[in-house]
Chains A and B, each alone.
Chain A
């Protein structure tokens, strides 16, 4: 396998793992997954900022 082909394989495997395994199964966006609107997100963060004192 040429260097170029090897690198393309590495790139594609890496991108697949990053975007289709890690992102989907291990890195959900915390706020996006729990709240629908920006108002709900800001209310939650505000509550957290206040309560963690």
Chain B
């Protein structure tokens, strides 16, 4: 059966996934971070025995609960889309995704839900110590749930630990630990969860600032700011470190993404990092135009960031398309280094791999074991470039440079701002005058949405920057989608838009009402 692909369906399927992922990611980071902040506050309560800390803990716990309840199952919709819109992809990765997502489900269901129940309903029913353990296990469980889906996503960016089985057309996991501990997975997990911790810290400080602006619950607010700003400064610095680690990994495994992040078309040794820049909107690969209308560059910093060497050659978009350069990261003697293939050469190899799969299928059906063995060998030799066989032209490997570049720079600028913000807040808190700095309190309130903006920008870098790949080098979007009509995808796109917007409005309304109510019984002592 030959199924024709509705090309507009590819873009609608991508748009639908992007929409649902963006909405899902509005709820998750606060869960990841606020769970730990609440656990820390409850630890202070249990250690000091001060009932004021219990009230503070319970206040933030309610907000955590609101966000958690609204966000539950928003991720399931992404998995529905795998099965409906991305069936080729789902089958292709089934053995790899199956284990991490199953563990995620088990972890989320058993660990999180069990201890969340104790967290919310166990006050005065279990001992203080047991309740505290439940709060910590809720936080740990939530973060460990995130681990598995991030491992799966990291595998898409840098597929490892698997072997393609031409009989089943599936990638089979041959090394679970290689998948779990791939540098892409480790960096992605640490960077993503610390992003959640920063958002939660900004959330707590911002809302506490609102209380101070209205001269309400002053002690609660100041104590909350203390916990959140210390948590925030530590995690925001860690976020910067893990971001550096991510860029280093991306330089090695996804050089086109790094080139897009920096708007780099012509690579060079000792490449500078664009601290601020405006791209030439009409720039195309290979046209020789200056990619920037304006830029401020830090000399050599991109080479240091990407390759830990100030003189390292950083390939640009044009270099990656044309090939013929020596990758810097390989720790082998110069004379043994191999030049990179051009994309055109990779496309040829990809086509060889696909034709080998075709021959293998034919040979297997005919019972021709000799031809099957030859085809299998040819497939294995060229499998690393399998996805390139679907590309019609070399420029197809270039993602949306503008979106990737601006998202990356927005994320980094905001990240730097957050570090400065936490330092300033801590400074005034230490001086005992934070409640008098109304300018800072207003900034704190308006910094809450900036945390979310930075977070979404980061995911745009990760997912737009890897286009056209669903699985880097192995499967582009055109080969990954199901052969279904775009009409159904369009319909569900708008259903999701309506459903998630309703959920978001509901969350904001319930949160605001709860915040206006404030902590119960005091907070001003």
Q: Which residues of A contact B (CB under 8 A)?
A: 3-4, 6-8, 10-11, 14-15, 17-18, 22-23, 26-32, 38, 41-42, 44-53
The docked-state distance in angstroms from the alpha carbon of A45 to that of B488 is: 21
Label chain A's interface by main secondary structure.
helix
The docked-state distance in angstroms from the alpha carbon of A31 to that of B367 is: 26
Q: Residues of A contacting B76 with CB < 8 Å?
A: 18
Interface residue ranges of B40-90 to A (CB < 8 Å): 62, 65-66, 69-70, 72-73, 76-77, 80-81, 83-85, 87-88, 90
Kindly provide the distance from the CB of B481 to the nearest chain A CB, expressed in whole angstroms: 9
Q: Residues of B contacting A28 with CB < 8 Å?
A: 83-84
The answer to whether the Cβ of B482 comes within 8 Å of any Cβ in the partner chain is yes
Contact of A38 among B166, B168, B513 (CB under 8 A): B168
The docked-state distance in angstroms from the alpha carbon of A53 to that of B65 is: 48
Q: A46-B357, A47-B1, A52-B390 are in contact. Are A18 and B87 (CB under 8 A)?
A: no
Q: Residues of B contacting A27 with CB < 8 Å?
A: 80-81, 83-84, 492
For the complex of A and B, list the 5 residue pairs with the smallest distance between their C-beta atoms, beginning with the closest. A30-B87, A29-B83, A27-B80, A7-B69, A46-B169
Contact of A48 among B3, B66, B90, B495 (CB under 8 A): B3
Beta-carbon contact of B492 and A14 below 8 Å? no
Contact of B77 among A6, A18, A48 (CB under 8 A): A18
List 22 A-B pairs, Cβ < 8 Å. Answer: A3-B513, A6-B510, A7-B70, A10-B506, A17-B499, A18-B76, A18-B77, A22-B77, A28-B84, A30-B87, A31-B91, A32-B83, A44-B1, A45-B88, A46-B169, A46-B357, A47-B2, A49-B88, A49-B357, A50-B358, A52-B478, A53-B351
The answer to whether the Cβ of B92 comes within 8 Å of any Cβ in the partner chain is yes
Beta-carbon contact of B169 and A49 below 8 Å? yes
Kindly provide the distance from the CB of B315 to the nearest chain A CB, expressed in whole angstroms: 27
The answer to whether the Cβ of B361 comes within 8 Å of any Cβ in the partner chain is yes
The answer to whether the Cβ of B170 comes within 8 Å of any Cβ in the partner chain is yes
Contact of B170 among A32, A42, A47 (CB under 8 A): A42
The docked-state distance in angstroms from the alpha carbon of A53 to that of B503 is: 41
Contact of B84 among A7, A11, A17, A30 (CB under 8 A): A30
Bin chain B's interface residue count: 35 or more
Q: A27-B80, A53-B389 are in contact. Are A7 and B91 (CB under 8 A)?
A: no
Q: Which residue of B lies closest to A53 (CB)?
A: B354
The answer to whether the Cβ of B514 comes within 8 Å of any Cβ in the partner chain is yes
Q: Which residue of B lies closest to A8 (CB)?
A: B69
Q: Which residue of A lies closest to B365 (CB)?
A: A43
Kindly provide the distance from the CB of A17 to the nearest chain B CB, expressed in whole angstroms: 7
The answer to whether the Cβ of B334 comes within 8 Å of any Cβ in the partner chain is no
Q: A15-B73, A30-B84 are in contact. Are A41 and B5 (CB under 8 A)?
A: no
Q: Residues of B contacting A7 with CB < 8 Å?
A: 65-66, 69-70, 510
Q: Residues of B contacting A42 with CB < 8 Å?
A: 91, 167-170
Kindly provide the distance from the CB of B518 to the nearest chain A CB, expressed in whole angstroms: 13
Contact of A45 among B81, B169, B506 (CB under 8 A): B169
Q: Residues of A contacting B321 with CB < 8 Å?
A: none
Q: Which residue of A lies closest to B87 (CB)?
A: A30
Beta-carbon contact of A11 and B389 below 8 Å? no
Beta-carbon contact of A31 and B80 below 8 Å? no
Q: Residues of A contacting B85 with CB < 8 Å?
A: 30
Beta-carbon contact of B73 and A14 below 8 Å? yes
The answer to whether the Cβ of B470 comes within 8 Å of any Cβ in the partner chain is no
Beta-carbon contact of A46 and B84 below 8 Å? no
B485-521 interface bits toward A, Cβ cutoff 8 Å, 1 = contact, 0 = none: 0001001100100010001001000100110000000
The answer to whether the Cβ of B250 comes within 8 Å of any Cβ in the partner chain is no
The docked-state distance in angstroms from the alpha carbon of A15 to that of B239 is: 34
The docked-state distance in angstroms from the alpha carbon of A4 to that of B1 is: 52
Q: Which residue of A lies closest to B84 (CB)?
A: A27
The answer to whether the Cβ of B204 comes within 8 Å of any Cβ in the partner chain is no
Q: Residues of B contacting A11 with CB < 8 Å?
A: 69, 72
Q: Residues of B contacting A3 with CB < 8 Å?
A: 62, 65-66, 510, 513-514
The answer to whether the Cβ of B411 comes within 8 Å of any Cβ in the partner chain is no
The answer to whether the Cβ of B484 comes within 8 Å of any Cβ in the partner chain is yes
Kindly provide the distance from the CB of A14 to the nearest chain B CB, expressed in whole angstroms: 6
Q: Residues of B contacting A31 with CB < 8 Å?
A: 83, 87, 90-91
The docked-state distance in angstroms from the alpha carbon of A28 to that of B66 is: 30
Q: Which residue of B lies closest to A44 (CB)?
A: B1
Q: Residues of B contacting A23 with CB < 8 Å?
A: 80
Kindly provide the distance from the CB of A42 to the nearest chain B CB, expressed in whole angstroms: 5
Q: Residues of B contacting A14 with CB < 8 Å?
A: 72-73, 503
Q: Residues of A contacting B30 with CB < 8 Å?
A: none
Q: Which residue of A lies closest to B517 (CB)?
A: A3
The docked-state distance in angstroms from the alpha carbon of A48 to that of B1 is: 9
The answer to whether the Cβ of B258 comes within 8 Å of any Cβ in the partner chain is no
The docked-state distance in angstroms from the alpha carbon of A52 to that of B169 is: 14
